[in-house]
Amino acid sequence: MIPITTPKGSFRVWTKRVGDNPQVKVLLLHGGPGATHEYLEAVDGYLPAAGIEYYYYDQLGSAFSDQPDDPDLWDLDRFVDEVEQVRTALGLDRHNFVLYGQSWGGILATEYALRHHQHLKALVISNMMFSCRAYNDYAEQVLMPAMDQAALAEIKGFEARGDTGNPRYMQLLMEQHYVHHVLRMPAEEWPDSVTRAFDKINQAVYVPMQGPSELGMSGSLLGWDRTGDLHRIAVPTLVIGARHDTMDPVHMEAMAGRFPNGRYLYCPNGSHLAMYDDQETYFRGLVDFLTSLDLAG
């Protein structure tokens, strides 16, 4: 448990180290906001064999970390400061520190890299576009038209009424969206690590930042856009996109080209959790990237 200070007092966040590699130490930023590290446990099947050291980490408000009841804490700037405090406590620096962010963690990792690039060795952005409005456009122009329109109307009706806790809403999302674009497996076959993480999502963090809808962004992150700033991140950067993702893979590939030292990994069979439904492609590319850093010293 790492102590962190915030404008609202001191709290503790949970971390766990796996492996020992002086040259490559990966801090894993989970999605949500308000999800948990647990769905990232897929890395256990690949990174240890490659000799990569990595750190699980539950952000404040998530799972095994403190969960204060204060909406003022659910702010992007404060989360960036939290990551910097965690980095310092773990003793990570520009000689070894690789920051990995998946989904919302990709927003957080990008923002951290823009503000604290001097501490980074490399960056990985997985399954996250670099503009939340562009993410909404993709959902509205590509994903929603491909859905069963009667089911989509029913989903939107629940959202308009603020009834997203209704079991029917979640049933429709699972049938019409999740198994197509979040994790392309029958729901009953989803890995335990994924279901544990989904069960623990802290809605008090998720809804204010993401918004109540699962088909787009409407919370405080809506205006986030760093498409014009990626040239400022000079460290080696891997961007991971997937064919069936909620995030536009064409956008992801184009943005990878805006990093001075960017690389793109495409998962042709993957969705938002491509680390499960296109696992071999995902981890072959990720491990190749991380081991190239190790060889570079």
The helix/strand/coil state of 20 is coil
Catalytic residue among 66, 245, 277, 278: 245
Tell me, yes or no, if 103 is annotated catalytic.
yes
pLDDT tens by residue, 28-78: 999 999 999 999 999 999 999 999 999 999 999 999 999 999 999 999 999
Catalytic site includes residue 116: no
Backbone dihedral angles phi then psi of residue 33, each to the nearest 5 degrees: -65, 155
Domain ranges of the chain: 2-134+221-296
| The total number of residues written for the chain in this structure | 297
Residue 295 has pLDDT above 80, yes or no: no
Check if 245 is active-site. yes
Flag whether pLDDT at 294 surpasses 80: no
Catalytic residue among 30, 177, 251, 272: 272
**What stretches of the chain show up as alpha helix (H) in DSSP?**
76-90, 104-116, 132-138, 149-160, 167-173, 192-199, 203-210, 249-256, 274-277, 279-296
Locate all alpha helices (DSSP H) within 60-145, ordered by sequence: 76-90, 104-116, 132-138
What's the mean pLDDT in 259-270?
98
Chain centre distance of CA 101: 5
The one-letter amino acid code at 255 reads M
| Distance from C-alpha of 241 to C-alpha of 248, rounded to nearest angstrom | 8
Phi-psi region of 211 (alpha: psi -120 to 50; beta: other; left: phi over 0): left
The average pLDDT across 252-272 equals 98
What was the pLDDT predicted at 296?
A: 64
Query: What pLDDT was estimated at residue 228?
Result: 98
Main-chain phi, psi angles of 96, to 5 degrees: -145, -15
| 181's tokens | 């674009």
CATH 3.10.450.50 for domain 2-134+221-296:
no
Q: What is the pLDDT of residues 204-241, one digit of tens each?
A: 999 999 998 889 999 999 999 999 999 999 999 999 99
Report which of 89, 86, 82, 88 is spatially closest to residue 111, judged by C-alpha positions. 82
Residues 131-147 pLDDT 10s: 999 999 999 999 999 99
Catalytic residue among 103, 131, 213, 271: 103
3-state secondary structure of 213: coil
Inter-residue contact 102 to 224 (CB < 8 Å)? no
Q: Give me the pLDDT at residue 213, please.
A: 87
Q: Is the pLDDT of residue 297 over 70?
A: no
Average pLDDT of the residues in 79-108: 98
Neighbours of 91 (CB within 10 A): 9
Summarised one tens digit per residue, pLDDT across range 266-287 is 999 999 999 999 999 999 999 9
pTM: 0.97
Contact indicator for 15, 86 with CB cutoff of 8 Å: yes
- With a CB cutoff of 8 Å and minimum separation 6, the contacts of 92 are 25, 27, 119
Q: Which of the 8 DSSP states describes residue 140?
A: I
Place of tokens 């329109």: 149
Give pLDDT tens digits for 95-126.
999 999 999 999 999 999 999 999 999 999 99
Query: What SS3 string covers 5-42?
Result: EECCEEEEEEEEEECCCCCCEEEEECCCCCCCHHHHHH
Return d(Cα 120, Cα 84) in angstroms, integer: 11
The predicted structure's pLDDT at residue 28: 99
